[in-house]
Amino acid sequence: MSEAKLKVLEASKAYWNPDKTQFWQDAGVDLVIDKREGYYLYDMDGRRLIDVHLNGGTYNLGHRNPELVEVLNVGARHFDMGNHHFPAMARAALAEELAKCTPEGLKYTIYGAGGAEAVELAIKSARNATRKRKIVSIIKAYHGHSGLSVKTGDERFSKTFLSEDTLGEFVQVPFNDLTAMEDALKGRDVAAVIMETIPATYGFPMPNEGYLPSVKKLCERYDALYIADEVQTGFMRTGDMWGITRYGVTPDIMVIGKGVTGGIYPISCCVVSEQAGAWLKQDGFAHMSTAGGAELGCVVALKVLEITQRPEVRSSVRYVSNFVRAGLDDIRALYPDFFIGIRQHGVIMGLEFNHPEGAKPVMRRLYENGVWAIFSTLDPRVLQFKPGILMTQDLAEEMLRRVEIAVGQARDDVMGGGAKRSYLQ
Amino acid sequence: MSQTVAELMDISASPVALKAKAELVLDRGRWASQVFQRYDRDRTMEIARHVAQVAHAKAKEYGEWAVKETGFGVAAHKALKNELSSIPLVDFYSDWNFVDPRLDERTGVVEIPKPAGVVFALAPSTNPIATIYFKVLASLMTRNAVVISPHPAALECCVDATKTLAAAAEEAGAPEGIVQVVEQVSLPLVDEFMKSPKTDVILATGGTPMVRAAYSSSNPAIGVGPGNAPVFVDATADVKDAARHIVDSKSFDNSVLCTNESVLITLSDVASKLERELSNAGAHLCREEEVEALRRYLFHARGFNVESLGRDAVWIADQAGFKVPKNTRILVAKISQIGAGEVLSKEKLCPVLGYFVASSVDQAIMQARALLRFSGAGHSAAIHSNDPQTVTDYAAAVESYRVVVNAPCSQGAAGFATNLSPSFTIGTGFFGRSSVGENIGPQHLVNWTRIAWHKDSGPLDRSAIGRLQHRGPLPVAPSDGVPGQGVGTPPIAPFRPQPSSRPGGSGGQDGLRDEIRQIIAEELRGLLKG
């Protein structure tokens, strides 16, 4: 390891996050990201990694996508964050564009700086509109780490900070369980159900056929709003602009973040229907955010929307998802006792391994083989596998070649037959 | 009034945006070509045949559209060229195999075809549709992806025609994006495509600057230079037939084909008979002052007057300032020298034919040679003669890679009245600063990997050739949880074209069996997964 990298690691331990820094060292992932370009990351010591983590779709269009960098540069000659109190050119333009390309009935855009803030906005808007407090989410859901959003998720993230729900306002039900959902809703005291269209941190379990539309119907029956968290499933990652429309659901509120600005300048958006956004007509000063909808982020987001809606991109997503799937099926056939399942919708994939923490050695072996993908925090049997929508054929082929080797090595680590035993022991 | 966000943030003309645009199209082409290489020959030819049939059915419509949009040429002739570039083109190559391995029996070397990948193909304004038909079908027969870049003057008909062919290809089961078109064409964008490392080969048909740009791009290019064909009628020729062929050829599509005759050369003892026959065939022999008027009208200081390009003879005479009978098909302009000092010895993409009378066969041949050295090297030449030695002497002397004998040159050099390969993309070889000297065809879009055993291995026979794995179209990945699209969904039904009555059809039974096998394999895979 170079002196320079060692210094960064030491400083990270001393001043940034000692535990997290140590965790990665222990896990065999000694990554300090330096240069980044397209779907490549480069470690400070020069090693190249193919990025199939993409920070949950943030780098959907590649790291430092040249068109987005250009727009940011050109934008910076005219714009800054802007003043959140006033109507603004870039915010209005993006809101208008989002009204056009989001599902029918969604009208106003409320801006945040990150995904969690957009989830706060969704919950607050739903509570205001329904005059009810209760929020239903999925067990092991993940919607962010801020005050309200963290309460919708697993206690793993709230208890540490004594921030778990103590008032019974946040109810969690199992995924794909309609009876539990109906039980939670039938008291008619629920403001909204919030759903990741495909739960990411939970390892992308896929909704059963008809599950999401049935949840929406239950919401209508019991006067609750449906909040679609499209942070990881939006922007063509399922092959359509929004994952939720593939399942035939029209939400009342949609939350988008991450990929909306391609990792170049962060903003997030909460897009609401006329009903859900009632407060915007009554008291527009009720919520404010200085960095929310920063205008530089808005101009980048406009470009992201334009790029992702090009016909060639739609085609590219299909190629990537079909080709990678075919390749993964071949790899599965080689290691059927270890690589036991693939969950997939478009380029959103969860690879399931036959060990309670099977995705961790796979992650480490992938890292050694030049591929970066991360395990699912809330289901470490599953590796989150998220190729970019513009991945080229050459790169997809190269990635699969590396994955095949790494999965074989991880299988030996876990199930024996190889030289090394699992570091998990 | 200040600018809108859209105006402020318009980066569409920036180098970054142009590069991104080109790469998006080329990357899609790469995906398509790589998947197409999984297809076997039957399936490949089924696709080419289906596209050819659709192209054939639209030949007339696009011929009319091209004339309307560009003002060049004759709709009926364009329709004919379009037709020739569809079904007959695929028929011509139906015996060729660009998919399976082959054995060179003499050397024992086994050869495996490797398609180029993504072909970037320019379509000129003079022959837009026929060129597109040709380049698309040549690409499909060889399992290449193709991106058509239309000439701006023929943009609308080119975009529509390419999209029609693309839809037909995909309908027949070709990978999506196998045929694409640049819809917002501009010079900087075309330049991006040409120089991109993601372009595998450029098929450049068009004006000299475009062809030279293709060669300067640093990518492999097959470019064709301009023509300027001499046609020699000697004393042994059937003069009446010769005159008819020349007038038919020179008036065909108002001479926009670069294979058209540029200067007619004959001998003094043949001249009067030939002139009579030319007149009978519809030529107007210009008087000296009319020739001078044509010089002034057709050539400006900048070069050829493009206003006259593909216009008919009567219109050109009128523009030049003299009247000819309404049924005049070509204008014949007698000149006394060839080369520098006589602009009429340059290429003329309009029905004006230079005419030179030589005093001997040797002089005639030297004049023909001089004409091609002056302009049009490597392209085409024609001769009307029944003396094999004269034909050979002529062909040996002229610096062109095809010499059409006793046939119209426009069609003959393009392989439609001769046994040359049918093509409107004419390789001008080393003389014409090009990489290929024959008529361009699908064979130029494939390289072959040669498998060579040790010299001492002894003679090989066909059993030495293994089978190539052709897995066919990519299965569609499941969209888990979407009704009907989750795990175990059977693949989309394979395309079955209408039974063709054409001879030499594919081995349909074998193809069908392969597809059935593939479907069963898919189903098994689905079951095992569950």
Nearest residue on chain A to B471, alpha-carbon basis: A326
Q: How near does any CA of chain B get to the CA of A239, in Å? A: 9
Contact B4 A75 (CB under 8 A): no
Whether A74 and B480 lie within 8 Å, measured CB to CB: no
Q: Give every CB contact of residue A370 below 8 A, 6+ residues apart in sequence.
A: A47, A48, A49, A50, A402
Please tell me which residue, B463 or B178, carries the higher pLDDT value: B178
**Burial tier of A27 (Cβ tally within 10 Å: 0-12, 13-18, 19+):** middle
> Does the pLDDT at position B520 exceed 60?
no
Residue B495: band (very low, low, confident or very high) from pLDDT cuts 50, 70, 90: low
Domain identity same for A156 and A265: yes
Under-70 pLDDT residues of chain A: 417-425
**B371, B405, B421: which is the final residue of a domain?**
B421
Number of folded domains in chain B? Answer: 2
List the structure tokens of B266. Answer: 């004959």
Domain boundary (B403, B421, B439) is at B421
B350 is known as an active-site residue: no
Contact residues, chain A, for B28 at CB < 8 Å: 312, 315-316, 319
What percentage of chain A has pLDDT greater than the value 90? 94
Q: Of B125, B148, B183, at which residue does a domain stop?
A: B183
The verdict on residue A147 lying in a domain is yes
Q: Do A346 and B479 touch (CB under 8 A)?
A: yes
* CATH code for the domain of B111: 3.40.605.10
* Whether residue B100 is found in the same domain as residue B156: yes
d(CA A203, CA B409) in angstroms, rounded, equals: 69
User: Tell me: the pLDDT tens digits for B79-89?
Assistant: 999 999 999 99
Asked whether residue A250 falls in the same domain as residue A323, the answer is: no
**Contact assignment for B16 to A66 by CB distance below 8 Å:** yes
Q: How many domains does chain A have?
A: 2
**Domain termination residue (choose one: A272, A289, A308):** A308
Q: What is the mean pLDDT of residues B342-349?
A: 95
Is A13 part of any domain? no
For chains A and B, what is the number of CB pairs under 8 angstroms? Answer: 114
Question: Looking at A259, A275, A308, which one is the last position of a domain?
Answer: A308
Contact by Cβ (8 Å): B320, B296: yes
Residue at A112 is within a domain:
yes
Q: Is residue A199 part of a domain?
A: yes
pLDDT band at B518; cut points 50, 70, 90: low
If asked whether residues A102 and A43 sit together in one domain, one would say no
CATH number at residue A332: 3.90.1150.10
Contacts of B19 in chain A (CB under 8 A): 66
Residues of A in contact with B482 (CB under 8 A): 209, 246-247, 345
Tokens found for residue A310:
């090009």
Shared domain for A342 and A216, answered yes or no, is no
Please answer yes or no on whether B476 and A322 come within 8 Å at the CB atom. Answer: yes
Same domain? A152 vs A293: yes
Confidence label for B530 from pLDDT (cuts 50, 70 and 90): very low
Same domain, yes or no: B164 and B91: yes
**Catalytic residue from among B258, B286, B350, B409:** B258
pLDDT at B2: 80
User: How far is Cα of residue B84 from the mean position of the Cα atoms in its chain?
Assistant: 11
- What pLDDT does B457 receive? 77
Does a structural domain hold residue A18?
no
Give a yes or no: residue A425 inside a domain.
no
* Pairing relationship of beta strands B102-104 and B109-115 according to DSSP bridges: antiparallel
Q: Are residues B300 and B399 in the same domain?
A: yes
Q: Which pLDDT does position B168 carry in this prediction? A: 98
Same domain, B179 and B254: no
CB spacing of A66 vs B19 below 8 angstroms = yes
Residue of chain A with shortest Cα separation from B17: A67
In a domain, B500, yes or no: no
Q: Please tell me whether residues A268 and A399 are part of one structural domain.
A: no
Instruction: State the average pLDDT for chain A.
Output: 95
Question: Would you say residue B307 lies in a domain?
Answer: yes
Q: Do A69 and B16 touch (CB under 8 A)?
A: yes
Domain-embedded: residue B503? no
| Separation CA A367–CA A361 (nearest Å) | 10
Reference B157, options B257, B45, B66; nearest CA is B66
Indicate if the pLDDT at residue B20 is higher than 80.
yes
CB contact under 8 A, A315 and B481: no
The reply to whether B527 falls in a domain is no
Model pLDDT, residue B511: 47
Same domain, B159 and B282: no
Q: Across all residues in chain B, what is the average pLDDT?
A: 90
**Residue B469: CB atoms within 10 Å:** 7
For residues B276-286, average pLDDT: 98
The residue assigned the tokens 């006259």 is B308
What's the CA dihedral at A394, A398, A401, A405 to 10 degrees?
180
- Averaged pLDDT for residues B192-215: 93
Q: Is B266 found in the same domain as B376?
A: yes
Instruction: Tell me the nearest-neighbour CA distance from A388 into chain B, angstroms.
Output: 13
Does residue B366 sit in the same domain as residue B244?
yes
Count of Cβ atoms closer than 10 Å to residue B236 Cβ: 15
pLDDT tens digit sequence for B377-436 = 999 999 999 999 999 999 999 999 999 999 999 999 999 889 999 998 899 999 999 989
With respect to residue A299, please indicate whether it lies within any of the assigned structural domains: yes
Nearest-neighbour CA in chain B from A80: distance (Å): 13
CATH of the domain at A147: 3.40.640.10
3-state secondary structure chain A: CCHHHHHHHHHHHHHHCHHHHHHHHHCCCCCCEEEEEECEEEECCCCEEEECCHHHHCCCCCECCHHHHHHHHHHHCCCCCCCCCCCCHHHHHHHHHHHHHCCCCEEEEEEECCHHHHHHHHHHHHHHHHCCCEEEEECCCCCCCCCCHHHHCCHHHHHHHCCCCCCCCEEEECCCCHHHHHHHHCCCCEEEEEEECCCCCCCCCCCCCCHHHHHHHHHHHCCCEEEEECCCCCCCCCCCCCHHHHCCCCCCEEEECHHHHCCCCCCEEEEEECCCCCHHHHCCCCCCCCCCCCHHHHHHHHHHHHHHCCHHHHHHHHHHHHHHHHHHHHHHHHCCCCEEEEEEECCEEEEEECCCCCHHHHHHHHHHCCEECEEECCEEEEEEECCCCCCCHHHHHHHHHHHHHHHHHHHHHHHCCCCCCCCCC
Residues A56 and A128 in one domain: no
Q: What is the CATH number of the domain that holds B369?
A: 3.40.309.10
Domain shared by A298 and A344, yes or no: no
Q: In what order do the strands lie in the sheet with A190-196?
A: A106-112, A268-273, A253-256, A225-229, A190-196, A134-138, A170-173
Q: Tell me the mean pLDDT in the region B506-529.
A: 46
Q: Which residues of B touch A211 (CB under 8 A)?
A: 481
In this prediction the ipTM stands at 0.94
A162 & A277 share domain: yes
Q: What is the pLDDT of residue B194?
A: 97
Domain final position from A308, A339, A374: A308
Strand pairing of B400-405 and B378-384?
Answer: parallel
Q: Render pLDDT for A369-423 as a digit per residue (tens, 0 to 9).
A: 999 999 998 899 999 999 999 999 999 999 999 999 999 999 999 998 654 444 4
Q: Which residue of A has its CA nearest to B479?
A: A345
Range of the domain at B134: 20-183
How do residues B105-129 score in pLDDT, each as one tens digit? 888 899 999 999 999 999 999 999 9
Of A89, A209, A324, the CB nearest to B486: A209
Same domain, A94 and A169: yes
Looking at the fold, whether A143 and A206 belong to one and the same domain comes out as yes
Q: What's the domain range around A292?
A: 66-308
Beta-carbon separation of B31 and A316 below 8 A: yes
pLDDT in tens, A329-369: 999 999 999 999 999 999 999 999 999 999 999 999 999 99
In a domain, A300, yes or no: yes
In a domain, B455, yes or no: no
A315–B476 CB contact, under 8 Å: no
The answer on A320 and A350 residing in a single domain is yes
Chain B environment of A207 (Cβ under 8 Å): 480-481
**Chain B residue set in contact with A, beta carbons under 8 Å:** 4-6, 8-9, 11, 14, 16-17, 19-20, 24-25, 27-28, 30-32, 34-35, 176-177, 474-483, 486, 525, 529
Q: Which of A255-264, B459-468, B487-496 has the least mean pLDDT?
A: B487-496
Whether B167 is in a domain gets the answer yes
**String of DSSP letters for B53-109:** HHHHHTHHHHHHHHHHHH--S-HHHHHHHHHHTSHHHHHHTTT--SSS-EEETTTTE
Q: Which of A69, A247, A325 sits opposite B482 (nearest CB)?
A: A247
Phi-psi sector, B429: left (phi>0), alpha (psi -120 to 50), beta: left
